[in-house]
């Protein structure tokens, strides 16, 4: 292959040096706040920091506007009361806490519910075109787990609307964006007192050149960890970078055992395995069948939900038209129940040719109805699977979708345990407890994005002239670490290790977990870590995806270990964490979080328990329902 020429060779448009090997020096930039990630959370925090007067940089692995936020479909949960005037933040707060099985950080849930409406209105000020009510207000959609119709939306592409609006706002404000730039280390000033953030180190994906940001505040907004699993609705970027960066900087993560598996992802064709199939298919009448044609969900109604679930096909079918006098169909049981049932059917050999289960709406609704209600699903199956969902059933199976766990942060400021390091969005933890409600993710990004941006700016301003320093020895070490995969000879291809890790996580730390399998997975992860030390990449540093993967893989490994370790420790089933050997929730576990840190040697993960923050009495009153059993779990729909 042609390689780049002289060291002075600069890219005509970006001005970057094109030669990866060039000794032309490392770029250095000074900012007040550096935001890592340009999804909804990253953009919102950058805008907030800018508005607060900071000089901000956004650094993202992809092009601007491509972040995973675009995949969100359903909407943004915000109690604006446009459709139901009786809706308010208190109801939203209550729904959120119950959806998370009371394991949420109450303060985050409260702030989120209180501030989401204004955050949505801001998007409209910046040009978002939401669907309207007849009065011309922002329309709000019903979603599982939310008592009132509450999701501001644009058809089924709300995430795209949100990211484009924020992107256009950021461009308008002239915020600097470093696209296709990967951060590999958060830099710390370990001088007097506690370590403080002093910057971030990374490389341009395009040229392979190193870049150093000197900044007292760094906001992590890197999204989730889905790429650790084989079947996932997440994109390649979801390698747990923010989780890993925070740990290496000394911060802790919480709730890592809670990974949300969506029951309906596409299973075929292979190219789209894991891609989300919206829960609205079932809401609009779709049913699940096994290969024998049996509507099997009736066999999986747990005792806990018997009272409110239809036990005959007749009653279930009547529910769609008459929700008052009939109980809901078992297809609309909570997501973990449905995912578990599908899993069992497939394991029992009653799966479809491509290893899934049939989701059938074709035999139950007219083609016109389906095309009108589910346009993007119709399009998705038609284009990608050559399946006409108005004529034949879909094949679906569970897919890894979202991680509730993340960096442990202060609820009001989103600051992690490390001074100057903030985390927001999916890579932060606490807000969603053990299970996230649909629509609460987009709201989370906006509400806490703004808070983090403002808090980071305030902290930077408080420092005055005494800024933390970047230690040049750390920079050297970061460079050496990033280049290490080029030094190895005769080692293993990172693609193989990644693929083996994904398979292992899927098999052993997936939707249904057992102690034995989790232990086995920890052993396997140790082996992957050994293999990863001997990773080799070919070619040179200029736009080299093999090298990029090698660097991301380290993050995936550490995050995977966190998940497995926390999952092994939590001996109960709750929300997104299901233990076959400990079915059902345990009240004692309901009072504590699991916290993980990088161990002293930096080679593995330490874990400890921590009591849940206690909700003040004035909020507790929302959950006092005398004579009621533990809160009945709403149907979680969470495509956004």
**Residue 371 a catalytic site member:** no
* Active-site choice (44, 146, 209, 282): 282
Taking a C-beta distance cutoff of 8 angstroms, is the pair 79, 87 a contact?
yes
Q: Does 149 bind other proteins (CB under 8 A)?
A: no
Shortest distance in whole angstroms from residue 590 CB to other proteins? 36
In which residue are the tokens 């036990």 written? 311
Pick from 34, 113, 197, 275 the residue near other proteins by CB under 8 A: 275
Pick from 25, 85, 193, 270 the residue near other proteins by CB under 8 A: 270
Three-state secondary-structure class, residue 36: strand
**Which residue lies nearer to other proteins by CB, 1 or 627?**
1
Taking a C-beta distance cutoff of 8 angstroms, is the pair 520, 503 a contact?
no
Distance between CA atoms of residues 113 and 146, nearest Å: 12
Distance between CA atoms of residues 319 and 635, nearest Å: 15
Q: Does 609 bind other proteins (CB under 8 A)?
A: no
**Which residue lies nearer to other proteins by CB, 171 or 632?**
171
| Region 205-224 residues binding other proteins, contact defined as CB under 8 A | 206
Give the largest CA-CA distance in the chain.
Answer: 78
Pick from 59, 332, 508, 537 the residue near other proteins by CB under 8 A: 537
Q: Does 323 bind other proteins (CB under 8 A)?
A: no
**Residue 29 a catalytic site member:** no
| Region 151-190 residues binding other proteins, contact defined as CB under 8 A | 154-155, 157, 160-161, 164, 168-169, 171-172, 174, 177, 179
Distance between CA atoms of residues 298 and 614, nearest Å: 39
Element (H, E) at 530: helix 515-533
Q: Does 503 bind other proteins (CB under 8 A)?
A: no
Shortest distance in whole angstroms from residue 279 CB to other proteins? 17
Shortest distance in whole angstroms from residue 117 CB to other proteins? 10
Distance between CA atoms of residues 555 and 244, nearest Å: 5
Q: Does 235 bind other proteins (CB under 8 A)?
A: yes
**Which residue lies nearer to other proteins by CB, 502 or 578?**
502
Pick from 24, 53, 132, 516 the residue near other proteins by CB under 8 A: 132
Distance between CA atoms of residues 420 and 426, nearest Å: 19
Q: Does 127 bind other proteins (CB under 8 A)?
A: yes
Shortest distance in whole angstroms from residue 355 CB to other proteins? 13
Element (H, E) at 160: helix 158-173
**Which residue lies nearer to other proteins by CB, 111 or 550?**
550
Please report which residue ranges of 396-493 form alpha helices under DSSP H.
Answer: 440-463, 472-487
Q: Does 542 bind other proteins (CB under 8 A)?
A: yes
**Which residue lies nearer to other proteins by CB, 108 or 267?**
267
Q: Does 495 bind other proteins (CB under 8 A)?
A: yes
Q: Does 491 bind other proteins (CB under 8 A)?
A: no
Shortest distance in whole angstroms from residue 169 CB to other proteins? 7
**Which residue lies nearer to other proteins by CB, 29 or 540?**
540
**Which residue lies nearer to other proteins by CB, 57 or 154?**
154
How many C-beta atoms surround the C-beta of residue 577 within 10 A?
A: 30
**Which residue lies nearer to other proteins by CB, 403 or 418?**
403
Q: Which is nearest to 120 in space by CA: 448, 442, 451, 449?
A: 442
Pick from 248, 318, 540, 592 the residue near other proteins by CB under 8 A: 540
Residue 587 makes CB contacts below 8 A (sequence gap 6+) with none
Positive or negative: CA dihedral 560, 200, 236, 261: positive
Positive or negative: CA dihedral 558, 562, 567, 571: positive
Q: Does 400 bind other proteins (CB under 8 A)?
A: no
Shortest distance in whole angstroms from residue 494 CB to other proteins? 8
Pick from 280, 380, 414, 457 the residue near other proteins by CB under 8 A: 380
Pick from 538, 580, 581, 609 the residue near other proteins by CB under 8 A: 538
Taking a C-beta distance cutoff of 8 angstroms, is the pair 34, 54 a contact?
no
| Region 415-444 residues binding other proteins, contact defined as CB under 8 A | none
In which residue are the tokens 């280049």 written? 483
| Region 24-83 residues binding other proteins, contact defined as CB under 8 A | 62-68, 70-71, 80, 82
Q: Burial-class residue 98 by CB neighbours within 10 Å (0-12, 13-18, 19+).
A: buried
**What's the first-to-final CA gap in the chain, in angstroms?**
42
Q: Where are the beta strands (DSSP E) in 268-310?
A: 287-289
Q: Starting from the edge strand earliest in sequence, which strands make up the sheet with 394-403, in order?
A: 259-266, 394-403, 357-360, 287-289
- In the shown chain, the binding pattern of residues 236 to 265 toward other proteins, with x for contact by CB under 8 A and - for none, equals xx----------------------------
Distance between CA atoms of residues 339 and 337, nearest Å: 6
Shortest distance in whole angstroms from residue 139 CB to other proteins? 8
**Which residue lies nearer to other proteins by CB, 315 or 492?**
492
Distance between CA atoms of residues 237 and 402, nearest Å: 13
Q: Does 466 bind other proteins (CB under 8 A)?
A: no
Applying CB under 8 A, what is the total number of residues that bind other proteins? 77
Residue 61 makes CB contacts below 8 A (sequence gap 6+) with 180, 181, 182, 205, 237, 241
**Which residue lies nearer to other proteins by CB, 63 or 632?**
63
* Active-site choice (209, 262, 401, 541): 262
Q: Does 490 bind other proteins (CB under 8 A)?
A: no
Please report which residue ranges of 570-626 form alpha helices under DSSP H.
Answer: 617-620
Catalytic residue annotation: 262, 282
């Amino acid at each position: 292959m042609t390689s780049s020429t002289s060291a002075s060779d600069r890219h005509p448009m970006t001005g970057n040096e094109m030669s990866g090997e060039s000794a032309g020096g490392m770029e250095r930039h000074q900012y007040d706040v550096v935001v890592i990630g340009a999804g909804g959370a990253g953009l919102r925090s950058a805008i907030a920091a800018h508005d607060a007067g900071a000089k901000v940089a956004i650094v993202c692995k992809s092009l601007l506007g491509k972040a995973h936020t675009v995949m969100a479909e359903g909407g943004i949960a915000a109690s604006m009361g446009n459709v139901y005037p009786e809706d308010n933040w208190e109801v939203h707060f209550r729904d959120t806490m119950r959806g998370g099985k009371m394991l949420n950080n109450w303060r985050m849930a409260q702030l989120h519910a209180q501030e989401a409406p204004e955050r949505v209105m801001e998007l409209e000020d910046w040009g978002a075109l939401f669907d309207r009510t007849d009065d011309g207000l922002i329309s709000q959609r019903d979603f599982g787990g939310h008592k009132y119709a509450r999701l501001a939306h644009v058809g089924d592409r709300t995430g795209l609307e949100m990211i484009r609006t924020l992107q256009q706002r950021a461009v308008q404000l002239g915020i600097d964006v470093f696209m296709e730039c990967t951060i590999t280390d958060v830099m710390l000033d370990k001088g007097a007192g506690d370590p403080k953030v002093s910057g971030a180190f990374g490389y341009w994906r395009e040229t392979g050149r190193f870049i150093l940001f000197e900044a007292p505040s760094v906001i992590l907004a890197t999204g989730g960890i889905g790429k650790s699993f084989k079947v996932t609705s997440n994109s390649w970027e979801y390698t747990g970078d923010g989780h890993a960066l925070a740990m290496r900087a000394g911060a802790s993560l919480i709730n890592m055992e809670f990974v949300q598996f969506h029951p309906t992802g596409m299973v075929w064709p292979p190219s789209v395995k894991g891609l989300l199939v919206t829960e609205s298919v079932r809401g609009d009448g779709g049913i699940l069948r096994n290969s024998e044609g049996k509507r099997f969900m009736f066999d999986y109604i747990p005792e806990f939900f018997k009272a409110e679930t239809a036990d005959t096909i007749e009653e279930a079918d009547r529910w769609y038209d008459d929700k008052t006098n009939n109980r809901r169909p078992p297809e609309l049981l909570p997501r973990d129940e449905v995912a578990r049932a599908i899993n069992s059917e497939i394991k029992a050999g009653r799966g479809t040719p491509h290893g899934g289960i049939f989701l059938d709406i074709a035999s139950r609704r007219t083609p016109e109805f389906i095309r009108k209600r589910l346009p993007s699903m119709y399009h998705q199956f038609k284009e990608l699977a050559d399946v006409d969902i108005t004529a034949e059933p879909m094949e679906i199976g569970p897919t890894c979708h979202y991680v509730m766990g993340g960096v442990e942060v202060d609820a009001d400021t989103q600051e992690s345990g490390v001074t100057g390091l903030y985390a927001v969005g999916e890579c932060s933890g606490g807000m969603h407890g053990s299970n996230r409600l649909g629509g609460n993710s987009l709201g989370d990004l906006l509400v806490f994005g703004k808070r983090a941006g403002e808090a980071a700016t305030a902290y930077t301003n408080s420092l005055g002239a005494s800024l933390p320093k970047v230690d040049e020895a750390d920079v050297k070490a970061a460079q050496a670490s990033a280049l290490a995969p080029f030094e190895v000879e005769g080692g293993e291809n990172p693609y193989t290790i990644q693929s083996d890790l994904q398979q292992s996580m899927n098999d052993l730390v997936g939707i249904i977990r057992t102690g034995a399998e989790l232990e086995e997975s920890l052993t396997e992860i140790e082996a992957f870590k050994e293999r990863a030390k001997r990773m080799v990449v070919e070619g040179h540093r200029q736009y080299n995806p093999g090298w990029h993967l090698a660097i991301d893989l380290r993050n995936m490994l550490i995050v995977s270990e966190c998940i497995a370790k926390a999952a092994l420790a939590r001996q109960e089933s709750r929300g997104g964490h299901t233990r076959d050997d400990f079915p059902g929730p345990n009240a004692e576990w309901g009072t504590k979080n699991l916290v993980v840190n990088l161990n002293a040697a930096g080679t593995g993960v330490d874990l400890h328990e921590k009591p849940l923050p206690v909700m003040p009495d004035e909020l507790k009153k929302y959950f006092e329902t005398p004579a009621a059993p533990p809160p009945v779990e709403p149907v979680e729909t969470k495509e956004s």
